[in-house]
Amino acid sequence: MYARILDLPEKSFFLFGPRGTGKSVWLEQRLGHAALIINLLKSSEYLRYKRDPSILAREVAALREDQPWIIIDEVQKLPELLDEVHSLLFESGHRYRFALSGSSARKLNRSHANMLAGRALLKRMFPLSLLEVGEDYSLQDALRYGRLPLSVTSPARTDKVEFLDAYLETYLKEEIQQEALVRSLDSFFRFLSVAGMMNGQLLNIANIARDVGVARSTVQGYFSILEDTLLGWYLPAYRNKAKVKEVAHAKFYLFDCGVQRALVGRHRDEPSPVETGALFESFVLNEFRALNSWRAHGAQFFYWRTEAGTEVDLIWKRGERATGFEIKSFTAWQEKFNKGLNVLLRAGDIEQGFGVYRGDTVQKFGRVTVLPYRMAMEMAREGSFVSTP
């Protein structure tokens, strides 16, 4: 068991995260003393509350006053329970505290579910971070098999591969088929393979639709499903002051390198050098995203690219303060890697510029500071990139 960076809130909260990221384990570790635990993945539990959601209020009324926590796992399966939770919070003056976990926000959004009007915090769970695993961390395994807890802790490579196979089957069966999110599972499966290959690249919806053999609007809907089921996220383009024409299309990143490789059927093979570069960039961005969320730094993420191809992999922005990052899977840094950062630094679009690489030493190239990736993660956790330089 690895200690997670996410702190337990003092008041009621939603905990969203993709399947397999360890939400239920974390809740058990932190709230094993909870007075009432409801797991809606169990058909008996689901059917009982489906027939009569008001059971929840009667069960909570029977709890002792020294038992304030109630866990509802996979709450998106029964959105009507949130009305009961809302009423209980209001009527009790927040004496009861709810931990409401879920692996998809889609059903809640589509049903206009009661999100408790700010009475519950929103927290997110991500795959294991390098900073959580510590000395046990293998970058090569993280890039090849990902960082989902069961992948990290599986002792053999064959176990990791079989876990990823099972993960995709579970996702397709439980999240997509059971919830009837798509009309054609075959088309969606073809889309997943293309989405895996397009990970971290500029999105061209028309080209993807042609490759999958479906309408453009269908592909847009498929990407929405990945976003709502928390398997992927958009990285929008950055609007800046530099006197150049920028690319406006967003990028789309899957949440885990292992899942991304499994989607394209590469998880049984060693990553090629070209693939390793793309995986390392995705790995760093997902680490930064998790640490920003866990530590509530409040930063927004963007990328920047010109039509001529000059690019900055990540802009970390909070308010008027912005920091740029170039990410390279090399052990030696080259001056040419700083081109995009220097353009934005000269234009005043970013206050700081950093390179992140697999080398061991901190280096300085003019206004660009190059960091070993482990040090960059530590700084990301502490919020150094959004503090005053």
Residues 85 and 221 in one domain: no
CA distance 370 to 359: 9
Q: Which among 343, 381, 378 is positioned nearest to 362, based on CA atoms?
A: 378
Domain boundary among 74, 106, 124: 124
DSSP 82: H
Q: What is the pLDDT of residue 380?
A: 95
The answer to whether residue 340 is domain-embedded is yes
Average pLDDT across the chain, whole number: 89
Residues 343 and 262 in one domain: yes
CA distance 302 to 192: 24
DSSP helix/strand/coil, 60: helix
Q: What residues form DSSP beta bridges with 15?
A: 101, 123
3-class SS letters over 118-160: HCCEEEECCCCCHHHHHHHCCHHHHHHHCCCHHHHHCCCHHHH
DSSP helix/strand/coil, 359: coil
Q: What is the pLDDT of residues 300-311, one digit of tens each?
A: 999 999 888 899
Tokens encoding 107: 């059903």
Residues 310 and 209 in one domain: yes
Residues 366 and 325 in one domain: yes
The answer to whether residue 138 is domain-embedded is yes
Domain boundary among 85, 106, 124: 124
Q: Give alpha helix (H) positions in the chain.
A: 23-31, 43-51, 55-61, 81-92, 106-110, 130-133, 139-145, 149-153, 157-170, 185-197, 205-212, 216-228, 257-263, 273-294, 339-347, 373-382
CA distance 263 to 179: 20
Q: pLDDT over 70 for what percent of the chain? A: 93
Residues 42 and 29 in one domain: yes
Residues 138 and 156 in one domain: yes
Q: Which among 52, 55, 100 is positioned nearest to 76, based on CA atoms?
A: 100
DSSP 97: E
The answer to whether residue 294 is domain-embedded is yes
Give the pLDDT band of residue 143 (cuts 50, 70, 90).
very high
Q: pLDDT over 90 for what percent of the chain? A: 67
Q: What is the pLDDT of residue 118?
A: 64
- Helix/strand/coil percent split, the chain, to 5: 45, 20, 35
The answer to whether residue 8 is domain-embedded is no
CA distance 240 to 251: 17
CA distance 89 to 97: 8
Q: What is the pLDDT of residues 83-133, one digit of tens each?
A: 899 888 888 776 788 999 998 877 676 655 556 666 788 999 999 999 999
Q: What residues form DSSP beta bridges with 300?
A: 317
The answer to whether residue 1 is domain-embedded is no
The answer to whether residue 3 is domain-embedded is no
The answer to whether residue 303 is domain-embedded is yes
Number of domains in the chain: 2
Q: What residues form DSSP beta bridges with 39?
A: 73
List Cβ neighbours of 209 (8 Å cut-off, separation of 6 or more). 215, 216, 218, 219
Residues 153 and 56 in one domain: no
Residues 211 and 258 in one domain: yes
Q: Report the largest interatomic distance among the alpha carbons of the chain, rounded to a whole angstrom.
A: 67
Residues 97 and 237 in one domain: no
Residues 40 and 162 in one domain: no
Strand pairing report for 368-372 and 363-365: antiparallel
Domain boundary among 124, 150, 169: 124
The answer to whether residue 209 is domain-embedded is yes
Residues 338 and 266 in one domain: yes
| Contact (CB, 8 A) for 219 and 203 | no
Q: What is the pLDDT of residues 320-359, one digit of tens each?
A: 899 999 999 999 999 999 999 999 999 999 999 999 999 9
Residues 120 and 132 in one domain: no
DSSP helix/strand/coil, 14: strand
Domain that holds residue 26: 13-124
Residue 31: CATH number of its domain: 3.40.50.300
Q: What residues form DSSP beta bridges with 352?
A: 323
| Contact (CB, 8 A) for 135 and 252 | no
Q: What is the pLDDT of residues 57-83, one digit of tens each?
A: 999 988 877 777 899 999 988 988 988
pTM for the full model?
A: 0.92
Q: What is the pLDDT of residue 96?
A: 86
